[in-house]
């Protein structure tokens, strides 16, 4: 053997602390990535999205899933006609299974843009407030469907136009500042009213 060469893209400074702050603030952080399941799991453990204990105690297999497995389990999506408005409405194929998965899911590996969109759509059907980050053209549908879309400043114009907030420094930690100001304004308006 001549040698071994490995590359690693380390986490940015402050990411683990930002994830911990999100957990304390009642924000569930989920990672959707095109990486393999092993890579995604290792990164999510390093970032504090999941713990080794959660992973070993997971009997359902829902904490870390592959996109295709997720899509098949929730029966993809279907279009319905709203009887009141006569407009088309998208829905998750099997909401019963989706609810079980959503309660546990933290990492979605080998996911496609459709998987990300399906996750956002299902969470919104469950009346969750959903925020999505993205930087590519393929992230645009999920960014647009989410309640709050965060595009990265270095991302494509399509992603920026589909989102509501652009993070000019491309840093996840900046989301905490947006949450802080948003909650402050909400609390102030509620106190005033």
Give the number of other Cβ atoms within 10 Å of residue 150's Cβ. Answer: 22
Q: What is the pLDDT of residues 59-83, one digit of tens each?
A: 888 999 999 999 888 887 766 666 6
Give the pTM. 0.84
CATH topology of domain 27-192: Rossmann fold (3.40.50)
Q: Where are the domains of the chain?
A: 27-192
Answer for the pair 170, 133: CB distance below 8 angstroms, yes or no: no
Q: What is the pLDDT of residues 99-110, one digit of tens each?
A: 999 999 999 999
Q: What is 37-65 written as a DSSP string?
A: HHHHHHHHHHHTSS-HHHHHT-SSS-SEE
């Amino acid at each position: 053997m001549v040698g071994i060469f490995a590359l690693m893209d380390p986490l940015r400074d402050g990411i683990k602390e930002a994830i911990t702050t999100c957990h304390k603030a009642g924000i569930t952080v989920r990672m959707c990535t095109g990486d393999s399941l092993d890579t995604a799991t290792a990164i999510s453990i390093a970032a504090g999205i999941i713990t080794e204990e959660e992973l070993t105690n997971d009997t359902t297999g829902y904490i870390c899933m592959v996109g295709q497995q997720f899509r098949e389990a929730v029966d993809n999506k279907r279009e319905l006609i709203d009887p009141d408005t006569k407009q088309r409405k998208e829905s998750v194929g099997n909401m019963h299974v989706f609810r079980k998965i959503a309660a546990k899911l933290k990492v979605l590996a080998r996911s496609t843009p459709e998987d990300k969109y399906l996750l956002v759509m299902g969470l919104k059907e469950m009346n969750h407030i959903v925020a999505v980050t993205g930087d590519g053209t393929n992230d645009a549908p999920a960014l647009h469907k989410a309640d709050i879309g965060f595009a990265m400043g270095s991302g494509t114009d399509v992603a920026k136009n589909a989102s509501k907030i652009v993070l000019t420094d491309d840093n996840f930690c900046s989301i905490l500042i947006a949450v802080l100001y948003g909650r402050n304004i909400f609390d102030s308006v509620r106190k005033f009213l």
